[in-house]
Amino acid sequence: MFIDIHNHLLPGVDDGIRKMEDTILELKLYKKHGINHVIFTPHINNPSVNTSVEKIKDTYDSLKNLIESETGLITYLASELYLVPNYKEFIPFNDSFVLIEFPTRVYPIYALDAIFNIQLEGYEVILVHVERYRWLFENKKLIQRMKEMNVYFQVNFEGIDTEEGRFYLGNNLVDFLATDNHGKDNRKEVDLSLFSRYSKITTRAFELLGLNTPEKL
């Protein structure tokens, strides 16, 4: 049993899936691959995607029961926060974890301070699609510093075979693997069999997130 901690499958709230029926179809595929838990993580504060925290919460609240009854999955709500200094509006997972992203091309000099400020609020930080940040990959001291700060690293399945992805996996720096699934109409279809192939990492997600073990769910 697996959990996808990063995707854009909540319909009509960001640049992911638009229609409810497409969400249902996609999540039924998840079920076939043993992915019984999904954390919806719509974008927040991303300069390329216009979103509303209120709309995201309202949409999830109105669709949660229908989605779960139609698919047999257990769902949760969080967000993917484009982190900038002093930005306070986000949706933490289980009131504990904040998924964050940064600009991919240029090192944000505020990164460590912004992460630290979130941690001061009592949250754990998950840096998503870490393989996309070339500025991080090329600065091993910065990687070490983030790990010393207990920042969790998440790699997208599509990034596993990149130079960066291989480095993070080969050095046991990856805490989570996830789909970043935007729906097959928006991006390349995700190979869901990778959850099983990398089960040593993917099954550990329950423990890291403080959820019950799969056997007890």
Give bridge partners of residue 40 from the DSSP assignment.
77
Give the pLDDT score at 66: 98
Residue 39 has pLDDT above 50, yes or no: yes
Give the chain's domain count.
1
Q: What is the rounded distance in angstroms from the CA atom of residue 173 to the CA atom of residue 204? A: 13
Structure tokens, 166: 């291989």
Structure tokens, 191: 């190979």
Q: What is the rounded distance in angstroms from the CA atom of residue 61 to the CA atom of residue 67? A: 11
Across the range 37-41, mean pLDDT stands at 98
Q: What is the rounded distance in angstroms from the CA atom of residue 104 to the CA atom of residue 124? A: 21
H/E stretch holding 3 = strand 2-4
Give bridge partners of residue 38 from the DSSP assignment.
4, 75
For 101-133, the pLDDT digits (tens) are 999 999 999 999 999 999 999 999 999 999 999
User: What confidence category does residue 217 fall into, taking pLDDT thresholds of 50, 70 and 90?
Assistant: very low
Structure tokens, 30: 């998840």
Domain range for 45 is 2-216
Give the pLDDT score at 189: 86
CATH of the domain at 149: 3.20.20.140
Please, what is the average pLDDT of the chain? 95
Residue 15 has pLDDT above 90, yes or no: yes
User: What confidence category does residue 216 fall into, taking pLDDT thresholds of 50, 70 and 90?
Assistant: very low
Across the range 159-164, mean pLDDT stands at 97
Residue 68 has pLDDT above 70, yes or no: yes
Give the pLDDT score at 88: 85
